[in-house]
Structure 1
Amino acid sequence: MIFSFSRLNLYRQCPYRFYNKYILGKEEPVTKPLALGKAVHQSIDDIINGFSHEEAVMNGYAAAGFHEELMHQEISNLVERAPVRPNMGKTEVYFKLPLSERHNAPEIQGYIDLVSPDGAITDWKTNRSIYGVKDNKQLALYAWAISQEIDIDRVEGILYFLRFRKEKGKIFSKEEMEEARRWALDTADEINERLELLEIMPKGTDRLFPTKPSRQCGHCPFAGHCILENMIVIPPG
């Protein structure tokens, strides 16, 4: 399995949801927030790459499959809040890297929204709340990836919250990027070990990929099964 931050983070949030989505391959519905994020990201990328605002918004709307809950104006309003200009950097920069020098080490892949000529990275956020750069490992892990690609020891990472026109940034040191890499490696190794155990104990799913009740349960399509089969109580909030 090739990992991504979202896969690793979902496993840490709830191993059971990870198992259903990525091991069993159960589809999750495309919610409005997911569709909106995809539309806005595509639109911003297009503007940086020379498209007009209106062309970019229409391309974003199409990329989100013209999701029935999306409004053209909502996409446009969020895109207008992005501090972007044509040719300000490379967009949707793809990476795939081994997480260690170990033979058959797990690999991680991802897309970085924007990489500036000096190596700074930006991640556009359509969230309805603001959080800190260090609240999860995503930006530090992406910083590590770009440091490997262009061989630099310090990387500036920026989260830009479009709804609030608010920027949260940090310059990641080599040590901080290494910490994120080790988190990713440890998580990937744990997943692989549990998958190996599952082959030996095919009825051990509940122990190897247990439910982990949290406020995230309200957004999980598998929460109903948890409640009915495992008598899980979803925390309020």
Structure 2
Amino acid sequence: MRFDFNNSRVYVRQSWLNDLVICPERARFKLAKPNMSGPSDATIMGTALHYGIEQVLSGESPDNMAKLALEHWEELKTKPFKVTNLDPDAAVEQIESMATAFIDDILPTVKIGGDIEHRFSFPLNLQIEGWDVWCEGTMDYVDPDGVIWDWKTASRSYYAKDKQSQSIQATVYASAIVYERKLEYPVDFRYGVMVRQLKPKAQIVYMRRTEDHHTWLMHTVKPAIQTALRLGVNESNWLINDTSALCSSKWCDYWSLCKGAFLSEHSMSLPLQGQPVEISKEKN
């Protein structure tokens, strides 16, 4: 989220809205302390694959995709990144595997000649406390027919039904393409998923977005903007969700300012199962 004070506009991105769903306090920290947020070993691997895909869609031979992705990955590793639970010894083979999965199973279904890394900005036709709300972002690829693609690297295949039901990204991107190209709903949105494993595995998740999804987007964005305007991003905490799998020192950049400031690693560790927990004697 960013505020344009000259034009009384507030811009939101789908990635920030997604953070808000995961944990409102995490979304607040993204605004208050953006410098603390950085890439991880998983995200730079994904960025490397994105780079390789962009080159292929720009005319590079698919045979060179893995090589280009690996070269970019080596460049990205020279800068700081968070280490998660990935096996660094398997990274090269996994990148090669994902490149193969894209070339063999996803690329043949992609119509060439579209817009790569398409930047967008559009009004949501929503005004909150004097601020006009806009959405902005960058789509991985929009084909000549208006089909939207987003490239994903993941540890496992997606549950297509969940993505159709829950994807904020699909809804925002569909609203953007309808506004920009004067298209009519429904909009065809697809995830091209490459699974992070040694044996090439790809998945295409087909989703549909309608005008009803756009209306729901407006309804969900409104309280997000109201929270930011009324509570601010520096003065008060927002609602905290510590039940997400991303609430950990490995996956959240703000762990040390939030749950990690209250609970030590020992406190978070699981006690030995099948044996009673030793109870401290009452102090005099």
Match of 1:151 in 2: 182
- The equivalent residue for 1:97 is 122
Query: How many aligned positions are there?
Result: 228
Distance of 2:26 and 2:114 partners within structure 1? 36
Deviation of 1:212 after TM superposition, in Å, equals 1.6
Name the residue aligned to 2:246. Answer: 216
For residues 51-200 of structure 1, the aligned pairs below 5 Å read 51-53=60-62, 55-64=64-73, 65-67=75-77, 69=88, 71-82=91-102, 83-84=106-107, 87-100=112-125, 102=127, 104-129=131-156, 130-131=158-159, 132-133=162-163, 134-154=165-185, 155-163=187-195, 164-195=201-232
- Secondary structure at 1:43 match in 2: helix
Per-residue CA deviations over 1:44-94 (Å, capped at 9, x if unaligned) read 111011012355444444544342748444223212222226834221111
Change (3 A) 1:125 1:149: same
Deviations 1:21-54 (A, max 9, x none): 3212242342111111111111111101101235
The alignment-based identity, stated in percent, is 18
User: Match for 1:75: what amino acid?
Assistant: I
Q: For 1:41, which of 18, 35, 50 is the aligned residue?
A: 50
Structure 1 residue 156, shift from structure 2 partner:
0.6
State the SS of the aligned residue for 1:217: coil
Change (3 A) 1:194 1:166: same
Q: Distance in 2 between matches of 1:222 and 1:29?
A: 11
For residues 180 and 269 of structure 2, the distance between their equivalents in structure 1, rounded to whole angstroms, comes to: 42
Q: Which amino acid aligns with 1:190?
A: T
Q: Is the 1:50–1:87 Cα contact (8 Å) retained in structure 2? A: no
Structure-2 change in CA distance of 1:91 and 1:10 (3 Å): same
TM-fit CA distance, 1:148: 0.7
**Corresponding residue for residue 82 of structure 2:** none
How many angstroms does 1:128 deviate by?
A: 1.4
Pair 1:222–1:55, CA change in 2 (3 A): same
Question: Equivalent residue of 2:34, what SS?
Answer: coil
**Normalised by the size of structure 2, how large is the TM-score?**
0.69
Unpaired runs of at least 5, structure 1 = none
Distance 1:231 1:166 in 2: 39
1:99–1:184 Cα contact (<8 Å) kept? no
**TM-score for both structures, normalised by structure 1:** 0.81
- Structure 1 residue matching 2:117: 3-state secondary structure: strand
Alpha-carbon contact 1:217-1:234 (below 8 Å) kept: no
Would you say the 8 A contact 2:65–2:99 is kept in 1?
no
Change (3 A) 1:118 1:128: same
User: In structure 1, how many angstroms separate the alpha carbons of the residues matched to 2:176 and 2:269?
Assistant: 35
State whether residues 99 and 185 of structure 1, in contact with CA within 8 Å, keep that contact through their aligned partners in structure 2.
no
Distance 1:230 1:66, change over 3 A: closer
Larger radius of gyration: 2
Classify the secondary structure of the residue corresponding to 2:27.
helix
> Between Structure 1 and Structure 2, which shows a larger proportion of strand residues?
2
Query: Is contact 2:123-2:132 (8 Å) kept?
Result: yes
Kindly indicate which of the two structures has a greater share of residues assigned to helix: 1
Distance 2:148 2:96 in 1: 23
